[in-house]
Amino acid sequence: MIGRRLRLGLTLRLTLTFAVGALLLSTAVALGSYVFTATFLVHEQERTALHQTYLNAAIVRGRLLGPQADVPGILDALTTGSSTNTIIYNDGRWYSSSLLVSRDALPATVRRTTLSGSVVRTWTRIGHSPELIIGVPLPAADSAYFQAFDESSLRHTLFVLQSVLLAAASAATAAGAGIGWWASRRLTAPLRAVAAAARRLAAGNLDTSLPEESDRELTGLVESFNTMVATLRERIQRDARFAADVSHELRSPLTTLTTSLSVLQGRRDELSDRARAALDLLGTELARFERLVEDLLEISRADTNASDQEREPVRVGELVLNVLEQQRYADISADLDSSALEAVVAGDKRRLQQVLSNLLDNAAAYAGGATQVSARATDRTVTVFVDDAGPGVATEERQLVFDRFARGRNATRRGSQAGSGLGLALVAEHVRAHGGRVWVTDAPTGGARFAVELPRSST
């Protein structure tokens, strides 16, 4: 959980960092470009306009000072662009090349300043259009010449420039975020691989290892992780092997013991009463000891992952009925519906049999024996229930009973029936190895109900 939060945080942080960096950088570049370009364009425009106005003003002055000065004729003769309007003040009267842009279009300060003898250059607004107005006094002719430039196209150019720069800045920010995300994924990929491997390891898969890493900075991490796994595996397997070796070494003397015991049992009649009682005790305890050795061996085999499991199609119903056929389970009723009888699982028959007989023996040891075995199937699973009429299992002990050598509070030993203490742990191990689950609840008739759910095989 902590690993996950850290991973998300790192990715998010890196992504944000890259995005913010890209945003700042691209905004600065865009803003700079805009200011520089706009200033340059406006300046150029003003210079051109001024130049043109001076030229025209010179022509106007010449004409006005010449004979037969006809102001409207002068206006018509001037060459200006279509977006430029000219206004002439002469002898107290105003002449305009356009009806729209006349004397009133000129700001009062412009008129005053020009007429008082200064060149004026100013920006104003006529209708919706930005206008550059330049006024040139012509004192020799007692006149003034004004030219108004419609700069809508300049405004449009600047608007397009703005849009392009804004789009570029946004794209750069998004790209920054993308690169940040990608980089963080790249950066955290080894972390995620380690986390996933650790999870597999925790789930009991001791064959877990990380693939060789070419990145020099990560080689250390990968190597130490793999070394840790190897050490862990070795230690676990050594422990399990030790248990297996001990049980294994016990098998030969156990064989001698059980065989000799059977010789004695065959000659019971030759013994005294006291010797017979001792012999019976010996038989009971030897059987229990044998069981313990077998269970220890079995469970250490599960621990070392020695998967000698024979997987074959097993009909669960058939298996249940075959187990119940044994003499010691004669009092147990079976309730299998037709779907459960048909259900097939891919399993190890011997281990599945052990699951059921361990549950039955557990019921015999602690609950006065199982009363009923039932089985139900769904499309995907088949579940076997073992009910008993005992005191049941307390809620807080329902997990613990599957632990090794766990003895519940109510689990008083009942004579010779007591098991190895590994029976239910083995049930849990075997069921887990089959991809199923086992749990305990209350039986409908009182007592405990152990349930084993196994996945059905597809065939």
Partner 1 sequence: MGVVAASVLIVDDDDGIRTSLRLALEDNGYVVSEAADGEAALGQVKAQPPDVVILDLMLPGMDGFECCRQLRRSSDVPVLIVSARGDSHDVVAGLEAGADDYIRKPFDVPELTARVRALRRRVRTTPEHPGQVRANGIEINPDRGEVTVDGKAVHLTKTEFRLLYELAAHPGRVFSREMLLERVWDYGYFADARIVDVHIGRLRAKIEPDTSNPRHLVTVRGFGYKIDA
Classified as helix, coil or strand, 214 is: coil
Taking the complex as a whole, how short is the minimal distance between the CB of residue 376 and partner 1, in angstroms? 22
Q: Name which of 361 and 387 has its Cβ closer to partner 1.
A: 361
The residue with tokens 């796994």 is 229
Q: Name which of 344 and 393 has its Cβ closer to partner 1.
A: 344
Please give the angle made by the CA atoms of 364, 365 and 370, to the nearest 5 degrees. 20
List residues binding partner 1 (CB under 8 A): 244, 247-248, 251-260, 262-263, 266-267, 290, 293, 297, 301, 306, 308, 310, 312-313, 318-319, 322, 349-350, 353
Q: Name which of 310 and 335 has its Cβ closer to partner 1.
A: 310
Contact present, 381 and 339 (Cβ < 8 Å): no
End-to-end CA distance of the chain: 38
Taking the complex as a whole, how short is the minimal distance between the CB of residue 253 and partner 1, in angstroms? 7
Helix (H) or strand (E) holding 206: none
Taking the complex as a whole, how short is the minimal distance between the CB of residue 313 and partner 1, in angstroms? 8
Q: Using alpha carbons only, how large is the chain's radius of gyration in Å?
A: 49
| Cβ atoms within 10 Å of 160's Cβ, excluding its own | 10
CA–CA separation, 34 vs 370, rounded Å? 88
Q: Burial letters for 350-366: b for 16+ Cβ neighbours within 10 Å, e otherwise?
A: ebbbbbbbbbbbbbbbb
Taking the complex as a whole, how short is the minimal distance between the CB of residue 346 and partner 1, in angstroms? 13
CA–CA separation, 74 vs 96, rounded Å? 11
Taking the complex as a whole, how short is the minimal distance between the CB of residue 393 and partner 1, in angstroms? 28
CA–CA separation, 100 vs 85, rounded Å? 9
- C-alpha atoms less than 13 angstroms from C-alpha of 274 in its C-beta half-sphere: 0
Q: Name which of 306 and 394 has its Cβ closer to partner 1.
A: 306
CA–CA separation, 390 vs 429, rounded Å? 24
Taking the complex as a whole, how short is the minimal distance between the CB of residue 230 and partner 1, in angstroms? 23
Q: Name which of 83 and 260 has its Cβ closer to partner 1.
A: 260
Q: Name which of 120 and 302 has its Cβ closer to partner 1.
A: 302
CA–CA separation, 16 vs 180, rounded Å? 7
The residue with tokens 């200006």 is 80
Q: Name which of 104 and 310 has its Cβ closer to partner 1.
A: 310
Taking the complex as a whole, how short is the minimal distance between the CB of residue 318 and partner 1, in angstroms? 8
Q: Name which of 112 and 350 has its Cβ closer to partner 1.
A: 350
Phi and psi angles of residue 439, each rounded to the nearest 5 degrees, phi first = -150, 170
- Rounded to 5, what percent of the chain is helix, strand, coil? 60, 15, 25
Q: Name which of 348 and 388 has its Cβ closer to partner 1.
A: 348
| Cβ atoms within 10 Å of 448's Cβ, excluding its own | 27
Taking the complex as a whole, how short is the minimal distance between the CB of residue 177 and partner 1, in angstroms? 57
Residue by residue, DSSP assigns 366-382 as HSS-EEEEEEEE-SSEE
Q: Name which of 21 and 283 has its Cβ closer to partner 1.
A: 283
Taking the complex as a whole, how short is the minimal distance between the CB of residue 398 and partner 1, in angstroms? 30
Tokens representing residue 270 in the block: 């030759």
Taking the complex as a whole, how short is the minimal distance between the CB of residue 294 and partner 1, in angstroms? 8
| Cβ atoms within 10 Å of 390's Cβ, excluding its own | 22
